[in-house]
Amino acid sequence: MNTEIDIAAPTIADRSTYQAQLDMLRIREKEHSRAGDAIAAARRRLPMVEVPADSPLIGAAGPVTLLDAFEGRRQLIAYYQMWHAGAPAAQQCPGCTFFNSQVRELAYLHSRDVTYATLCQGSYEQSVRYRDFMGWDVPWYSAQPSLDVLLGGRAPFVLACYLRSGDRVFETYWTTGRGVEAMEQTYGLLDLTAYGRQEPWEDSPAGWPQNIPDPARVDGRPTAQWSRIRAGRSDDLGTAG
């Protein structure tokens, strides 16, 4: 068997050797899944804290409240998107763009009585133009009037879960950093590939490609913006002087 290839890659093996090692890895994968299930079970047993249900938001119809953002459902998942006031689209947060771009089909959440919404940290007028440029159709609000109450200094970006009981609202969970990876499938798929995420921090064999220092930005823009630019969409956020 020819074992020479012209790029850095896994060693070549016959099917039985490959499957034997994959079977060993599968044991660890199942342990990982069960550990995740146990963490989720502990998460469901966390206490909750009440937040003002009348916290003001701004939406398409004008002023609304956090309670309104539930759209009558029992639970709300809210992503607090960062916003750089006065900055053009190219300078908006690439990470928030990365994560929010991947929340698309909401029917499965709705079937479990859960609403998803973006609560942007910037003004509604500018940020909704960004949403429209990106082509996102998730519910969109400005949480700018309520950031001190709802985030309480937690930053720079937050994914939070809420439970409604009548007219009362409770926060049941929040996370940031890599915890927000729950919003996306890209990393999960890349983690299954031979080269992984191709980011410098990963533990990969010598010679593996790891030359993506900013995985959410390409040529000075959040990566997902380029397809919108090529499609002729305007990225004018009304921020030009």
Query: What are φ and ψ of residue 82, in 5° steps?
Result: -65, 155
pLDDT 10s digits, 25-78 = 999 999 999 999 999 999 999 999 999 999 999 999 999 999 999 999 999 999
Question: Is the confidence at residue 2, as pLDDT, over 60?
Answer: no
- In this predicted structure, what is the pLDDT of residue 99? 96
Mean pLDDT of the chain: 95
Residue 42, SS3 per DSSP? helix
Question: Is the confidence at residue 161, as pLDDT, over 70?
Answer: yes
Domains and CATH numbers, the chain: 49-183+217-230 (3.40.30.10)
Please report, for residues 7, 15, 27, 33, 70, the alpha-carbon distance to residue 77 in angstroms, rounded to integers and kept in the order given. 43, 44, 33, 23, 9
- In this predicted structure, what is the pLDDT of residue 240? 73
pLDDT 10s digits, 220-234 = 999 999 999 999 999
- In this predicted structure, what is the pLDDT of residue 1? 47
Q: pTM value?
A: 0.94
- In this predicted structure, what is the pLDDT of residue 241? 56
Nearest of 89, 93, 81 to residue 216 by alpha carbon: 93
Which H or E run contains 237? Answer: none
Mean per-residue pLDDT, 11-25: 97
CA distance linking residue 104 with residue 210, whole number of Å: 29
Which H or E run contains 188? Answer: helix 186-190
For 8-63, give the DSSP string.
S-PPP--HHHHHHHHHHHHHHHHHHHHHHHHHHHHHHT---EEE-TT-EEEETTEE
pLDDT 10s digits, 104-146 = 999 999 999 999 999 999 999 999 999 999 999 999 999 999 9
